[in-house]
Structure 1
Amino acid sequence: MATITLRNISKSFSQRKEGIRRDVRAVDDVTLKLEDGVVLGILGPSGCGKSTFLRLIAGLETPDAGEVFYDDQALNEIEMKDRGIGMVFQNGALMPHWEGRRSVGLFLNLRKRDQELPERVKEVAKITGIGLEALLEKRPKHLSGGEVQRVGIARALARDPRLFLFDEPFANLDAKIRAQARVELKRLLNAFPVTSVYVTHDQTEAIALTQRIAVMRDGRFEQIGSYRELYDSPANLFVAGFIGTPLMNEFRGRASEGSWRGRSFGGLAIRRDLEDGALVTMGIRPDRLRLVAEGGVPALVERVTPYFAERFQLLDLQQGRERWRMSVPADLQVSVGSTVRCEPDADGILYFDTLSGRRLG
């Protein structure tokens, strides 16, 4: 295993748009230390720099500035064959004319260690527990998407890696196979605790597979922490809006002597330490709103969406030009077109500076 350290890493690419060439910074002055054995998820929207960040760690891209270290050794001082990296890509990246066994054994073949292959395949099959032997005699065109990724993971594992890098490996799988693949990979990571970086845009995957999550936007990490830390104490509006399903409701208004002034929830008591007149965005997650018989805010029910597996239903509500969502128990009878009254839990409100997006307090 390895401790990975990045110091002030930056990487830009040149793009031409409408005849004008400009530099786009894919990774922007990132500093990070990934401790030995930790599984880190990189979560963010498409185009935010996640895959470029992964390629910089692997040494497949050279940074414009900054350095990458494996333990205490600079990455550029380590030959590629000695880096001990196992990578799993979105498309599997298997040779189309090779059987799975040859793909899994590529590393040993390059090292002139073919005699170790049979025993190593047995070890990998035992660790993964995914019926690997049956897949090794087939070429990629005869494998399903999930099976291609199983062989890809086995190939990475056969290298006896110090570092695992996953670049959205399950993005092309259907929902059922993706869920099964997550379970199998989680079991593998528990049995084989290698320092790992897992890139995804799917927070369900990040929650299921990683110990810490780095939320990325425009080449920078907005916040790093456990999912619970990101959910309960987001650093800014971007993190708060990106983490959590259903999405957080946002209400814009002003603070005024300890009261809220906005289109909805006007007069609501809020934190008294907020500066009078300050432009404040109030963030309330759907599960932190509750129905009340009296008081609260009246709102029209526009839509009712059941989430049977989670045992709740989601209400889309409207009051004037303001719209928001709240979750209620699955067995509660609520009809479209009816009016309900709701109010937030006092300790369930997050406050943000509207101009900067920074969380207040």
Structure 2
Amino acid sequence: MKKLRTAIIGCGNIYSVHADILASKENVELKYMVDIKENRAQKAAEKYNCEYLLDYSELLNKDIDVVHICTPHFLHSPMAIKFLESEINVLVEKPLALNYAEGKQLLRTAKNSSSHLGVAFQNRFNENNQRAKKILEAGTLGEIKGIKGLVTWHRDKDYYLNDEWKGFYETEGGGVLINQAIHTLDLIQWFGGPIKAVSGNVDTRVLDDVIEVEDTADATLFFEDDFNGIFYATNAFSSNSPIEIEIDCEKGSMRLFEDQLLVKTANKTDNFNENSDTDYKAYWGYGHQRLIDGFYQDLRNSTHSNTIRAEEGIKTLELITAINSSSKNRKKYYLKGVDKR
């Protein structure tokens, strides 16, 4: 079987997660590491026994099947568009694009390309998230009555000053919503289904002398299935406390917290634990292996069943836009395509 020739663009924090997985795959050949900082590119290439480049556009002239985009946010969409137009498959780290408008442009490009585009919402593949999704689909808890998502983390001045692209709308696209809480927003939609409207608020409460993006956001979410959700996220807590998602249903409830899933019904309570050990940052989760395995399986089989596609990635960008717009205009914001009565 022919090996798929792969390159990773961006040798910052997250790249090693992708590289370790690719290096372990028998049918993948990791060919290039790309970074504008030569010391990082060279170090990564030496570690994974491949070549390095300083300009990602050189890959367009190489014999490459797949690129993994692990760069700052503002580069995601422009890079992905160039590779898709050249019929090269793309797996991009979150977010799909810098903002919703860019995301729509990337989605149009993906639809006109024969290549695959996947986005790294790896937390969908965590064991307990998969289990919770199956319970909801089975209907054993009845219809959803409400859903709650909480993210209370800590990001200090050094976090932003050590990466020149963070903290600015032009390069990061936002703050806690698009960077830290985006996985929770994705899971809320994945569990609860389409959201028709939001009433939200965003604010910069702690590092307003350092960043221009928000560090705190909250929203009431109005789902198409006629139930409401609540969401709160902040980077202004003293530490990174565990994310919590609670789903209240007609016949019981589910609570996801750290590596546990607590399922309550009238008759019993089940507690599911999963092995969440990881060699990387704990808040990255441990679903990248399944995410990447599924993406390459789809490439082999010319399917899309295991890939989180651009259509999914853009939903969260639209939701972030809705929360920001609601906050700015101080009124409920209806998402595109939904009757605004």
Give your verdict on TM over 0.5: no
TM-score, normalisation: structure 2: 0.29
Relative contact order (alpha carbons < 8 A, sep ≥ 6): 1 or 2 greater? 2
More helix by share: 2
Give the number of the structure whose alpha-carbon radius of gyration is greater: 1
